[in-house]
Structure 1
């Protein structure tokens, strides 16, 4: 939740004081690995100081290779060529057929990634004294000369010039500012995130791996992980993996996605009990305390809707456009949002009427394309389908 004070003309990412902006509870998804695209890295480098950028870049993991290497979960066989176009849109297939190359590399021929928690820590540097956890934003109210955030306990923030809702798929700000037009659907697909010592990845080796088990009676199970060579010899380092499954396969107890630890670990181990021996250490030796469930959601597949602009309030990231894990473009699009909005504020010297309108107009173009691409990939990979009758995530 970003907030700009009238007296400071300052926009930050997080803060503790009610006169700037506040965060909900700490998420349990800090260990989810994010692949950073070229566009995302360019936006970060352009908006961070050289020193901050270098520190961020040094924190990122770099993996050699141009794209996913696909494995059959049961046999352990390399099926990369057979899965080359799985989930790919027709333009990508056509481009490669003409001799073009579509890959996941970000810079210097490397696939660049970072854990969500590590990225958050990097962005919070300098704002630590302004962060207060466990404050849930219930909405906002406009004043004669600004805007106030309203919190779930009934308290309100000090008046500010601008409010930016970035509180995810359950964003009350998004619901209010769009008058309910921003809709997030529950695809029915579920995921589990886990961590394990690098020693468990010895049999896999360096690369970005996608493992698929299509032999489950109730639906396909897949796993994605990124193994960096430089950390392979340090058993104190843990790599993360993300498991996903088609609707109906993964069932968190009581559909409670706040549950972490052994319940999630036990389900992951059960689903992979017949996997190839070189993959089993990822689950047999996992850090059970770090296991967590996730719900795979997606915004309206046709793209980000239009809503009457509110000059002092807008939304970024999942609050504006939730995406499936397919393609790994959700976080990259959120960073692009922040970079665009930040640039507009800098160019205007602070808040000016028209900034949110310009931001939303430009954001809708690239974000809508990203949502459509993410949904198309999810239809192929996860077997999901969304229409107007699909269940929605209630805000």
Structure 2
């Protein structure tokens, strides 16, 4: 690579951005990351992610062997019978594993018939290896400016300053990406499905009523809508008192209501809502709530990009998008993070093969990304519609 090569600029320091940074580092392509936070902060929302075969393959294709080994060692491998649904009130099975939707079942298992998962914070730490010196903290990205000749780009920040000139800007700063809005001319939309969730975690002792596997506890007895909890029980960690397993609660629109509709609440108030919603659940499952780490409970809105798929916009050779900035998904089917790391691997490979940002790279990336990302968004949305009762009208549903 040329010593005076302009760097790749990356907005956001999330999972997809950091994996792209790893790819660029190994290809010796210079880069800078601009992150709104002032340091790595692993929030309560940093719940465990399940990795599909495609997601795991994408990560392995980017990382060097030593870093991938460290990543793999952080992952948990869960056996069992796949996704099993239980009636949360009676404790009885809702359906057999073979009845799980094919797309969901395929997304769950990745290698050797096992479910592979990792905490978002742990993934972010590994992906940040040897990259932190290239991160500028406390830099909130508000947009970008192209150079007069169109050969470069600068990031604009909330404090009125601008970045150095880059060869390419990659917007990876999540569902409220300002880069995405500017690049797509407003075509990219993220809809509020109305469904709400709570993330929580509890010590392994609370999960003794469940065997190894991925479980969905589903309560259809409520008059105001269905509430469900999904969790992953890893056998090898069950006897380690220092380990906590996470769970994710989802309620149909109108069921989960944080105080004053404040979704920034973390801690006891969120935990109390979760406990109230599950007070009539079977004793086998009550410990998940009764023994939860209240400080880690957090509310969240369930959002989704256009169910019809990733829209097109006029290609800009110096700007593109990855991850939730371009395709936000519901938690149903576990496809969001897996699709995001596929973006990172694909874009990183194209940049490596081209020797940096060259004409045609962003067009080639976006053409391929739109195909698999649109399929993933559609599957995520259709699964959420079945499980959570969500519905999006692309003309009238509120956006975030």
TM surpasses 0.5:
yes
SS of corresponding position for 2:307? coil
SS of corresponding position for 1:353? coil
Counterpart pick for 1:311 among 317, 324, 342: 317
Paired position in structure 1 for 2:128: 124
* Farther-moved stretch of structure 1 (304-313 vs 382-391): 382-391
CA distance in 1, matches of 2:80, 2:211: 12
- Compared with structure 1, are the counterparts of its residues 31 and 9 closer, same or farther at alpha carbon in structure 2 (3 Å cutoff)? closer
Q: Answer whether contact 2:35 2:138 (CA < 8 A) is retained.
A: yes
Counterpart pick for 1:200 among 186, 200, 206: 206
Aligned Cα RMSD in Å?
2.1
- Compared with structure 1, are the counterparts of its residues 294 and 103 closer, same or farther at alpha carbon in structure 2 (3 Å cutoff)? closer
Paired position in structure 1 for 2:35: 23
Q: Does 1:383 align with 2:389?
A: yes
- Compared with structure 1, are the counterparts of its residues 174 and 188 closer, same or farther at alpha carbon in structure 2 (3 Å cutoff)? same
Structure 1 unaligned spans of 5+: 94-100
Q: Does 1:139 align with 2:143?
A: yes
CA distance in 1, matches of 2:42, 2:388: 24
SS of corresponding position for 1:363? helix
Q: Does 1:47 align with 2:80?
A: no
SS of corresponding position for 1:31? coil
- Compared with structure 1, are the counterparts of its residues 390 and 264 closer, same or farther at alpha carbon in structure 2 (3 Å cutoff)? farther
Deviation string, structure 1 residues 125-160 (Cα, Å, up to 9, x no partner):
111233344322111111133111111121211111
Q: Answer whether contact 1:246 1:382 (CA < 8 A) is retained.
A: yes
- Compared with structure 1, are the counterparts of its residues 362 and 246 closer, same or farther at alpha carbon in structure 2 (3 Å cutoff)? same
Paired position in structure 2 for 1:61: 76
Counterpart pick for 1:75 among 90, 111, 114: 90
- Compared with structure 1, are the counterparts of its residues 292 and 311 closer, same or farther at alpha carbon in structure 2 (3 Å cutoff)? same
CA distance in 1, matches of 2:347, 2:82: 31
Paired position in structure 1 for 2:116: 112
* Farther-moved stretch of structure 1 (24-33 vs 256-265): 24-33
CA distance in 2, matches of 1:54, 1:367: 27
Q: How does 1:336-347 map to 2 (within 5 A)?
A: 336-347=342-353
TM-score, length-scaled by structure 2: 0.89
- Compared with structure 1, are the counterparts of its residues 314 and 232 closer, same or farther at alpha carbon in structure 2 (3 Å cutoff)? same
* Farther-moved stretch of structure 1 (29-38 vs 304-313): 29-38
* Farther-moved stretch of structure 1 (147-156 vs 325-334): 147-156
Q: How big is the shift at 1:84?
A: 5.2
Paired position in structure 2 for 1:226: 232
Paired position in structure 1 for 2:273: 267
SS of corresponding position for 1:150? strand
Q: How does 1:168-317 map to 2 (within 5 A)?
A: 168-317=174-323
For these two proteins, the number of residue pairs brought into alignment is: 376
- Compared with structure 1, are the counterparts of its residues 130 and 30 closer, same or farther at alpha carbon in structure 2 (3 Å cutoff)? farther
Paired position in structure 1 for 2:24: none
SS of corresponding position for 1:211? strand
CA distance in 2, matches of 1:304, 1:341: 17
4+ runs of 1 displaced by more than 6 Å? Answer: none
